[in-house]
Amino acid sequence: MLKFLTILKVGMKAIARNKLRSTLTALGIIIGVGCVIAMVAVGGGAQAAVQEQISSLGTNFLMIFPGAATQSGARIFTGQSSITDDDVAAVRAEAPSVAYVSPMSRSSAQVVYGNLNWGTSIQGVGVDWPFIRSWNVDRGSFFDETEVRSSAKVVVLGNTVATSLFGDQSPVGQMVRIKNFPFKVIGVLESKGGSTMGQDQDDTVIAPYTTVMKLLKRSAKIDMFMASAVSRDAVDRAQAEIDALLRQRHRLTPEQDADFMIRSQQEIAQTADQTSKQMSALLAAIASISLLVGGIGIMNIMLVSVTERTREIGIRMAIGAKGRDILTQFLIEALTLSIAGGAIGIALGIATSRFLAWKQQWPIVLAPAAVLLAFGFSAAIGIFFGFYPARKASRLDPIEALRYE
């Protein structure tokens, strides 16, 4: 033990004697570890942001699409939509775990106000829609049951559309034209920001689904419908109830495939989560390459150092250093370089991610596990890439080494 400590000191001294070279060697590891930490922090931040947005979407809602899911997951449209307005009404009336239901009919069109126009998506929904999406009206009001039944030409604007067409002016009470039909603006939605997939959720116009079907799509069928469970825990129950009810109404035997598909928000969340995880993994992988390059740098310098110090190794061996004493000394040198590099790299990585969070307003999540992992990894690199040069040194023949000029 005493001997090990002494050899440790010898290794440290050798590093201190070659300050510039030691710094340059450690720089490879510093940059590598710094990159890994910063990238993982950025990736983790993105992941957290995605999760937050998904929960802002409302966590307990279900989407029911017409058409069956095949085994490959693709949807087959068998001509007409299999879900009717009556199905929606039945779910609302008969499924106890379902709190709100809204049919949906989507289209896209130009919204014209004065000499301005804005192309956007038109979502035809029912009166329950604000409750399902937990998305409230900021100014004005949402349409009511009467307006839905009468296919009233009223719209609620998303924040982006309102700002684009009206600027600072209040849109409530103004008239806009969609596909040449005049619509009255009755409200503006509160701003929700970007969605999971990066779309601007506020770039939309909400209208009664009956109006969208009749005037804009000229179709008697709804595209899909949304339902929300009474609570977060009731999502599975609500899904089962809707499934049973629709099967019964569509007269399907248990053996038959359903002609509709229910997707929960949780499934969507999982997909999005997976995507962002893959993204983080990719970032980390790219950063790891720089760590690998840093490791090769250490190996290169250690090999040069072994050659350069052949005579020193010969002297040490002649006066009684064993192979493993030399091995230990050179391993300690490599390990010290990589661990010191790792420590500085961690500080640099944390500083970089803090800087990004401050300057770019990126969401940053610094996971202590990632920091520890990067540190352990840099030590492992020291051992891995230091071992070959160290072993080379330890196997030198003292007679040859002493003769080396």
Partner 1 sequence: MSARAEGRTERSEADVIRIEDLVRVYQMGEVEVRALDGVSLSIAPGEFVAVMGPSGSGKSTFMNIVGCLDRPTSGHYFLDGTDVSGLNRDQRAEIRNGKIGFVFQAFNLLARTSALENVELPLIYASQGYRASDRAAKAKRCLEVVGLAGREDHMPSQLSGGQQQRVAIARALINDPKLMLADEPTGNLDTRTSEEVMAVFQELNERGKTVVVITHEQDISEYAKRVVVFRDGKLVEDRPVSGRRTAVVKR
Contact residues: partner 1, CB under 8 A: 1-3, 6-7, 10, 17, 311-312, 314-325, 398-399, 402
Specify the 3-state DSSP secondary structure of 153: coil
Task: Tell me how far, at minimum, the Cβ of 198 lies from partner 1, in Å.
Answer: 59
CA neighbours closer than 13 Å in the CB half-sphere of residue 358 = 6
CB of 324 to partner 1, least distance (A): 8
Which residue number, 18 or 163, has a Cβ lying nearer to partner 1?
18
CA distances from 377 to 34, 295, 352, 382 (A): 12, 10, 19, 9
Q: In whole angstroms, how close is the CB of 25 to partner 1 at the nearest point?
A: 19
CB of 185 or CB of 313, closer to partner 1: 313
In the bound complex, what is the minimum distance in angstroms from residue 312's beta carbon to partner 1?
Answer: 6
Q: Kindly tell me which of 259 and 325 has the beta carbon lying closer to partner 1.
A: 325
Task: Considering the complex, state which of residue 149 and residue 311 has its C-beta at the smaller distance from partner 1.
Answer: 311
What are φ and ψ of residue 139, in 5° steps? Answer: -125, 150
Rounded Cα gap, residues 101 and 92, in angstroms: 6
C-beta closer to partner 1: residue 123 or 329: 329
Contacts of 172 (CB under 8 A, 6+ apart): 139, 140, 185, 186, 187, 188
| In the complex, least distance from residue 314 CB atom to partner 1, rounded to whole angstroms | 8
Q: Residue 38 Cβ, how far from partner 1 at the closest point, in Å?
A: 38
Residues 6+ apart with CB under 8 A from 190: 135, 136, 137, 138, 159
Closer residue to partner 1 (CB): 234 or 315: 315
Spatial neighbors of 7 by CB under 8 A, at least 6 apart, are 325, 328, 329, 332
Tally the C-alpha atoms within 13 A of residue 219's C-alpha that lie toward its C-beta: 19
DSSP-based three-state secondary structure for 207 = strand
